[in-house]
């Protein structure tokens, strides 16, 4: 009885600590936070001035002593202290809004499948010192697969390609575990850089990072489309130093993005080649599942299908796939707690 009561009032939260966006899921409530993984720091004092949306708004607009950075880009724990502060900020925010009178939360965090034991330990430690009572980890591709409602615990192959901001995760999942995976540092951010290089090299036009991202989202594609897309872009002329605007079309941006897209597609191809034949035939039937914001590039599904000779399915709402998967684990612990791969203190999350 008492146990049951505790089970009800204790709260569990899931966090997708992405290189571009951090999302938080609260059991029985759903997604309560969806903000950029961005931090603004005063370089002189080391003090954090803003986190999330507020910090992203400062990008490119700060005085010299304030730096706005995305501390997770180089991997989850490239910067332990900041990671802890981000976790702390979001855990506090959820705790204050919803559960001020309850004990500290248990937290499940998605991590890229490639991280080392040392890095895993560091994430758990960061979560505990950020105020979690206990911390558990889950492989991001596994979470994305659960978010896509794939039958991850069956003895059948599921292939997930999650293209985020800083990293692309390619994983094959069967029987509740990751069979093979690879993690590349080529994803949405590199595509933004492709657009910047293109404008600089071809037109001597200097573009800001956010402008480049907007261009990518507005007219970027991976495969020739029927409809032509065009837009006016604005930047600084590198020769005169003055503002300049020009028109670009989808063909030009596709050519620019191909630099990164080629790497992603080649890695998917070789992951397929390394997969045991039994699993390949499962994937043939179910298709490769595309998740993450970078997977939204127009025609990428078509290009991957052509190159791998496999069907490709874009999952619904790919930007929230991982956190919805973590949420599904929290809601169905009886069935799914096996996919949690590590624990802070004990192994039971109830």
User: Which residues in this chain contact ligand ADP in the complex, by CB under 6 A?
Assistant: 18-21, 164-166, 188-189, 213, 216-217, 220, 292-294, 296-297, 319
Minimum CB separation from ligand ADP for residue 92, in Å?
21
DSSP of 139-175: EHHHHHHHHTT--TTSSS-EEEEEE-SS-EEEEEEET
Q: What is the DSSP letter of 298?
A: B
Distance of alpha carbon 27 from alpha carbon 329, whole angstroms: 10
Minimum CB separation from ligand ADP for residue 212, in Å?
9
Question: Which residue, among 191, 317, 333, has the nearest Cα to 259 in the 3D structure?
Answer: 191
DSSP of 38-76: -EEEETTT--EEEETHHHHTTTT---TTEEEE-TTTT-T
Nearer to ligand ADP, 188 or 344 (CB): 188
Residue 261 CB contacts under 8 Å (≥ 6 apart), including other chains: 191, 222, 297, 300, 303
Minimum CB separation from ligand ADP for residue 47, in Å?
25
Minimum CB separation from ligand ADP for residue 142, in Å?
14
Number of residues that bind Mg ion (CB under 5 A): 2
Minimum CB separation from ligand ADP for residue 85, in Å?
17
Among the listed ranges 6-14, 16-24, 50-58, 296-304, the one in contact with Mg ion (CB under 5 A) is: 16-24
Identify the three-state secondary structure at position 344: coil
Question: 36 touches which of Mg ion, ligand ADP, none (CB within 5 to 8 A by kind)?
Answer: none
Reading the block at residue 48, the tokens are: 């954090």
DSSP3 helix / strand / coil % (the chain, rounded to 5) = 40, 25, 30
Question: 39 touches which of ligand ADP, Mg ion, none (CB within 5 to 8 A by kind)?
Answer: none
Nearer to ligand ADP, 150 or 212 (CB): 212
Question: 294 touches which of ligand ADP, Mg ion, none (CB within 5 to 8 A by kind)?
Answer: ligand ADP
Residue 267 CB contacts under 8 Å (≥ 6 apart), including other chains: 168, 170, 182, 184
Among the listed ranges 70-78, 79-87, 145-153, 162-170, the one in contact with Mg ion (CB under 5 A) is: 162-170
Minimum CB separation from ligand ADP for residue 6, in Å?
33
Identify the three-state secondary structure at position 289: strand
Minimum CB separation from ligand ADP for residue 297, in Å?
5
Nearer to Mg ion, 85 or 168 (CB): 168
Nearer to ligand ADP, 134 or 213 (CB): 213
Question: 75 touches which of Mg ion, ligand ADP, none (CB within 5 to 8 A by kind)?
Answer: none
Nearer to Mg ion, 22 or 82 (CB): 22
Minimum CB separation from Mg ion for residue 165, in Å?
8
Distance of alpha carbon 102 from alpha carbon 97, whole angstroms: 11
Nearer to Mg ion, 162 or 301 (CB): 162
34: region left, alpha or beta (phi > 0 left; psi from -120 to 50 alpha): beta
Nearer to ligand ADP, 219 or 279 (CB): 219
Q: Which residue of 18, 235, 294, 325 would you call a contact of Mg ion, by CB under 5 A? A: 18
Identify the three-state secondary structure at position 301: helix
Question: Which residue, among 142, 176, 170, 182, has the nearest Cα to 156 in the 3D structure?
Answer: 176
Q: Is 164 in the site for Mg ion (CB under 5 A)?
A: yes
Binding site for Mg ion (CB under 5 A): 18, 164
């Amino acid at each position: 009885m008492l146990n049951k009561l505790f089970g009800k009032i204790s709260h569990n939260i899931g966090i997708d600590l992405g290189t571009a966006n951090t999302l938080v899921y609260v059991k029985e409530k759903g997604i309560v936070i969806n903000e950029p993984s961005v931090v603004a720091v005063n370089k002189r004092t080391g003090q954090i001035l803003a986190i999330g949306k507020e910090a992203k708004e400062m990008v490119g607009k700060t005085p010299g002593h304030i730096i706005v950075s995305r501390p997770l880009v180089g991997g989850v724990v490239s910067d332990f202290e900041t990671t802890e502060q981000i976790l702390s900020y979001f855990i506090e925010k959820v705790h204050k809004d919803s559960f001020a009178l309850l004990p500290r939360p248990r937290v499940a965090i998605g991590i890229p499948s490639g991280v080392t034991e040392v890095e895993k330990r560091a994430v758990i430690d960061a979560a505990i010192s950020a105020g979690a009572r206990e911390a558990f980890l889950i492989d991001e591709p596994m979470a994305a697969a659960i978010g896509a409602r794939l039958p991850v615990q069956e003895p059948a192959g599921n292939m997930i390609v999650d293209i985020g901001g800083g990293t692309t995760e390619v994983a094959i999942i069967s029987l509740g575990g990751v069979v093979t995976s690879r993690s590349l540092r080529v994803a949405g951010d590199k595509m933004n850089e492709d657009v910047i290089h293109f404008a600089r090299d071809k037109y001597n036009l200097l573009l800001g990072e956010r402008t480049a991202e907007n261009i990518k989202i507005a007219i970027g594609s991976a495969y020739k489309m029927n409809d032509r897309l065009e837009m006016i872009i604005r930047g600084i002329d590198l020769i005169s130093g003055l503002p300049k605007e020009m028109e670009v079309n989808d063909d030009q941006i596709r050519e620019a993005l191909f630099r990164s897209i080629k790497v992603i597609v080649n890695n998917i191809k070789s992951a397929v080649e390394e997969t045991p034949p039994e699993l390949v035939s499962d994937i043939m039937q179910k298709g490769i599942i595309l998740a993450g914001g970078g997977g939204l590039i127009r025609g990428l599904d078509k290009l991957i299908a052509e190159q791998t000779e496999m069907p490709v399915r874009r999952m619904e709402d790919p930007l929230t796939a991982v956190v919805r998967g973590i949420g599904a684990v929290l809601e169905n612990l009886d069935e799914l707690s096996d996919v949690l791969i590590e624990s802070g203190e004990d192994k039971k999350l109830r």
